[in-house]
Homo-oligomer: A and B are copies of this chain.
Amino acid sequence: MIELRKDPITARWVIINDSRDFQFDLDENTGDDSLCPFCLGKERLIPEPIACYDQKGNKIDKYSNKWQVKVIPNNKPILTIEGSILRKAEGIYDKMKGVGAHEILIESPKHLVNDMKADDFVASILAAQDRINDLKNDLRFEYILVFKNHGKTAGSTISHPHFQLVALPIIPKSVKEEMTISKRYYDFKERCLFCDIIDQEITFGTRIVMETSSFVAFVPFASRYPFETWILPKEHSEDFRNLKDKYKLEELAEISISVLRRLKKALGNMPYNLVVHSYPLKQERIPHYHWYIEIIPKITKFSGFEFGSGIYVNPTIPEESAKFLREAE
């Protein structure tokens, strides 16, 4: 069964999917790449590729072995690509067929990438943008989430560096929420909330991790997790896919790699999640939303308090974490 069900009390969608018990879980923490299905030469272990890209992020023949980035379907997807959405009632409940796409973007043919290069990261960004542009043509989809799990605690089952893309037939609740609140701010102030936050963070300086000419990284004022870090483009842009400029792409790669390196200095090879927040597919261009990347080291536990209240307890002071990360390079 793959089904989307809506909780009537919180209006939160849940994916019920019992086909996922066996997943790749081969090489975690061993450093042994002999069983890794994502390494070059292990193509027989994974599904047919969807697309391949070279080091400049250009699409190449999908069966080529000269790939820098390879995109494959997840062999145990959280949503299924087949069928139509079929919204239905079950008494007072709401459900729909679990339709969507779940792709894996393998960032490199090499298994251990301790010193990821900016160029390689640019190829991954361009490949992700290309996949979003392709999936966007499927009118069943409302949102595409791009994210990364690193380490078992963060939900990863394979250590070979990879991103995941999930195309969803709904706009996720957390995205709707950000859209609603930033819209409310815009209606009141006639300015983008995120632009105001960036301005203020740069003026204060206390939470800044680093800055380039087009991007800024900081530890947010109300961080939920220790060393949580956001990376935002300074210039207003609601959509991650709008980033086309070669120099800006390189800057984004450099700031992302530097932030991850600083986090490793602070916390070792910590488990983390990385999430790209961007605006929904079918919306008009909007002045109130601003895309950003969120990096969450998973070093604290989630207790009944967080669970029952939605209020996170952060045992570190954001300004101190930022100072540490600022001075870490």
Query: Chain A residues in contact with chain B, CB under 8 A?
Result: 1, 5-18, 20-21, 78, 90-93, 143, 145, 147-149, 152-156, 164, 166, 168, 172-175, 177-178, 181-182, 185, 193-194, 196-197, 200, 203-204, 220-224, 273-277, 294, 296, 301-318, 320
Contacts and interface: CB of A to CB of B under 8 A. Distances in A.
Contact of A275 (B166, B174, B294, B308): B308
Contact of A222 (B6, B17, B200): B6
Contact of A15 (B16, B152, B178, B311): B311
Contact of A155 (B220, B301, B310): B301
Given A17-B314, A20-B313, A147-B308, 10 more contacts: A9-B181, A9-B197, A10-B181, A21-B315, A93-B200, A148-B304, A154-B304, A155-B301, A173-B309, A294-B308
A313 B78 contact: yes
Contacts of A275: 304, 307-308
A15 B310 contact: no
Q: For the complex formed by this chain, how many copies does it contain in all?
A: 2
A207 B156 CA distance: 31
A7 B79 CA distance: 31
A177 B10 contact: yes
A146 to B, nearest CB: 8
Contacts of A194: 9
Contact of A14 (B6, B154, B301, B314): B314
A312 B221 contact: no
Given A9-B193, A155-B302, A221-B7, A315 B17 contact: yes
Contacts of A178: 9-10
Nearest to A102: B305
26 contacts: A7-B224, A8-B197, A9-B182, A9-B193, A9-B194, A9-B197, A10-B177, A14-B224, A14-B311, A14-B312, A16-B314, A16-B316, A16-B318, A18-B316, A18-B320, A20-B315, A93-B221, A155-B302, A155-B303, A155-B306, A173-B311, A175-B310, A273-B303, A273-B304, A277-B308, A296-B307
